[in-house]
Structure 1
């Protein structure tokens, strides 16, 4: 265990199978190079009811580190970027950095139809799936974001050769497109493969697939 973990670096998460926000928070810690002790909130019915009473973010994920308690994924991203500037979680170039923050904010606050129609589920992969028509504009907008970034910065990640905050934010979307066999352009398919082959993602997916089957999906987790 690292010194950081010893002084109380803890990440509170929910189901690794279903919780997209937990995945984002965990990936952000990986980007920062911060080793965390995971504290997993049980997913039984009583906790489900309790979580719904807390706040829109459900306080999951929540990072506790050096006396700070930080929840909400964008807040965690900015906090870690301040604590670990050498990790370059955001692009170095100011215009690209602003772009990264903008598209990260967009996924943070939008795409509700996509989230409800295609919830994250890392234990299944459909060959065909009827996508709700209301989710189509969300899918098209995400394709446009990814295509623009890949063309502008050269890939394979959204802002070039190394993953950034934006990749952590969009990683659950990549899993959804694969899970539900969503037809996207070849460059976007390649980006989904890049995300799924990213070492931290492979680690998270393996842990998700090892979770007990009785763990239930939290409707509030997108």
Structure 2
């Protein structure tokens, strides 16, 4: 398998399926496309590997898939023993909903606090829209951790939904976002964010950023 990804310091959507693929233990090659090239250079470099002109893209034999969530769904079916989604249908429905919410939402947080793994941590003043996003994330994380007992959103096992929120945890670290200011009274959401950044898959990604 080959996973085509963007610059590791910046590409959150590339990180997500990369973490999941790393968790499977399956051998794969990574092809890194430098993002933010001038004069459309990045898109031109991506197009031979992805019809959308976007990363990530997965190649597995004659299968080619674009979009991070679609790739993760493919990997869940390709490696069923890894339990990348919870076995329990009820749990699976909840965490799939949470991953989909990240996939389509939180635009203010993503725009105002772009991931930059090479940046020094710095405190910022968040807009009202981004504060709303952070509060929703705290509520979502806290609710799932309580419902399923943690330490991950789907219970005991790290999975796709946790990969989807790992770049969010990195943003909170980079921009000095204190989740206790956004409703995390017990500290469970903050501890979860720290847990994500201690995962071996994330540390492997960070080492290459």
TM normalised by structure 1 equals 0.84
* Residues 1:189 and 2:187 are matched in the alignment: no
Shift of the alpha carbon at 1:99? Answer: 0.8
Q: Does the aligned pair in 2 maintain the 1:33–1:87 contact within 8 Å?
A: no
Listed as ranges, the gaps of 5+ residues in structure 2 are: none
Q: Which moved more, 1:34-43 or 1:194-203?
A: 34-43
| Alignment root-mean-square deviation, CA | 2.1
Q: Does the aligned pair in 2 maintain the 1:28–1:76 contact within 8 Å?
A: no
Partner of residue 19, structure 1: 11
TM normalised by structure 2 equals 0.89
Q: Does the aligned pair in 2 maintain the 1:10–1:63 contact within 8 Å?
A: yes
Partner of residue 65, structure 1: 60
Shift of the alpha carbon at 1:42? Answer: 2.4
Shift of the alpha carbon at 1:49? Answer: 5.8
In 2, the alpha carbon distance for the partners of 1:171 and 1:50 equals 28
In 1, the alpha carbon distance for the partners of 2:107 and 2:19 equals 22
Q: Does the aligned pair in 1 maintain the 2:23–2:201 contact within 8 Å?
A: no
Q: Does the aligned pair in 2 maintain the 1:13–1:40 contact within 8 Å?
A: yes
Q: Deviations over 1:194-213 (max 9, x none)?
A: 001100101111211xxxxx
Listed as ranges, the gaps of 5+ residues in structure 1 are: 1-8, 209-222
Shift of the alpha carbon at 1:83? Answer: 1.0
Q: Return closer, same or farther for 1:65/1:53 CA change in 2, 3 Å cut-off.
A: closer
In 2, the alpha carbon distance for the partners of 1:142 and 1:56 equals 32
Structure having greater relative contact order (Cα 8 Å, sep ≥ 6)? 1
Q: Does the aligned pair in 2 maintain the 1:10–1:64 contact within 8 Å?
A: yes
Alignment of 1:63-212 (within 5 A): 63-184=58-179, 185=184, 186-208=187-209
Shift of the alpha carbon at 1:94? Answer: 0.4
